[in-house]
Structure 1
Amino acid sequence: MTNSTPSTPDAAPDNWVDHTPAQIRPYLRLMRADRPIGTWLLLIPCLWGLALAAAAGHNGSSLFWYPIFFAIGAYVMRGAGCAYNDIVDRDFDAKVERTALRPIPSGQISVKKAWAFLVFLCLIGLIVLLQFNQFTILLGLASLLLVAAYPFMKRITYWPQAWLGLTFNWGALLGFAAAAGTLAPAAFALYGAGIFWTLFYDTIYAHQDTDDDALIGVKSTALRLGEATQKWLIGFATMIIAGFMLAGFLIDAHPLYYAALIPAIAHLTWQIRTLDIHDSHNCLRLFKSNRDCGLLLLLAPICDRITHLI
């Protein structure tokens, strides 16, 4: 293996991973360290849950450390999920232009070594999870069932993005449970909003691969919705905001909570209006912009919490 080992097309050119030692570079690419957007999309719902619990009056003394724990956990577990997904999908990935250069299908890492790396990442994730209360630990372990099933969803349904939503937004429940020690209806409202958020951004992402997916028999919402995608995105965006508004109602949020949703509404509207499903670069750019969208949604519970402090 040489220093010229190619990166995948959707990674930023000349990113930091490209300058790491050749021996570890394939493992960093396997865990998508060269594409941090996935970590953000996994972390942000955790922050939503924490902030909503704080807004609802749950103010544990360890809340300062919880975002740090969740950031570490999101980083390693997103990497573990990517490794697992690539192990399962290695034959499909070899047939798709965007994924053919991933470490396993390109022969940079053997399946056996990928499994070993996956176990290593999961052990780090377990150490992080054990920093929380018992209820949160059990809740976190339960999410593994969703993670294990996800790679197979694209083989049996045109809605694998819905299953990804169930998986990626589990952090909204974890964040709330970590702060509150339990779950409340508002946490489930937030979880529902997150599921529609994933349907929104991952449908956009999936439009990069529609031609290859159709040829190899992989299903996605992008294929299912086709030219009607933008109309469906309007519906998904509506449900995202509705979920946040319901969560606010259930915690008796301050009016500032609802006003703080306006920037996120504007961002979602911008994405829908500028989407070109036939332009893969446009799809990737809009997909990545959902880090900003998720952080804008975080403003609502943060602003509500601030009203309790002034």
Structure 2
Amino acid sequence: MKDYDLIIRPKRHAFDINFKEIWSYRDLLKMFVKRDIITVYKQTILGPIWFIVQPVLTSLMMMMVFGRIAKISTDGTPQILFYLAGVTIWNYFSESFNTTAKTFTENANIFGKVYFPRLIMPFAKVTSGLIKFGIQFTLFLLVYCYYLFAQEGSVNPNWTIALLPVYILLMAMFGLGAGIIFTSWTTKYRDLTFLLTFGVQLLMYASPVIYPVSTIEPGLMKDILMLNPFTPILEGFKYAFLGAGHFSWASLGYSAIVATVILFLGIIIFHKTERNFIDTV
């Protein structure tokens, strides 16, 4: 009897997910991450600087439109910090969701020729997005340190800064889970791709990115806003660094539960779709 390094077996049901096999392909994961970071900006003039330009321009536009013209409150915090904080943490979800939502359609040729755990691809997108987030977060910290030391009292950080890894993890879970659900649906319903950019933009305005929860009067609208699982994350992130916002363990636990459910459903749906998607893509 010969010993084999690889044994290919049929997948019996949607819950038959081999996470050990995914771990064994971690070198491939690293390769995809490197590809996403290097090749995307290889032939651009500014390169990774685009990671910095985008949040800066977005925050300046928000300052002009929502701060100066609409005069929306920022809870007494510096406008540039308030908008930069919201944009930085939101961009990680947006980037993760937008890239993983195209997993099947953009990689159909690779999936049809070479075998590897398909979940490696969306995991790589979320991981490479973490590097981009790190660059943008560094920019936020530079601006933050200026106000913290040069203008004392303008920001009031607190102990919840220690929860930063939790906020990042939850955004990654939302981006990965929602993205792989979306890409699984688009294998049959291609017109859903037209809703991608519009849907993320609409969701941003439905979340406290450009406004604090405190500006919403108590009532139905505020109750709906608090049901948004992104609200505790965005408000908690701002509360940790700026000292203005809303934080509660119950709200954060609610977001964690929703993120876990979405990720779990996403993996199950993705796993079920990958078995026959090549016939429909």
TM above 0.5, one fold? Answer: no
Query: Which TM class, normalised by the smaller chain length?
Result: 0.3 to 0.5
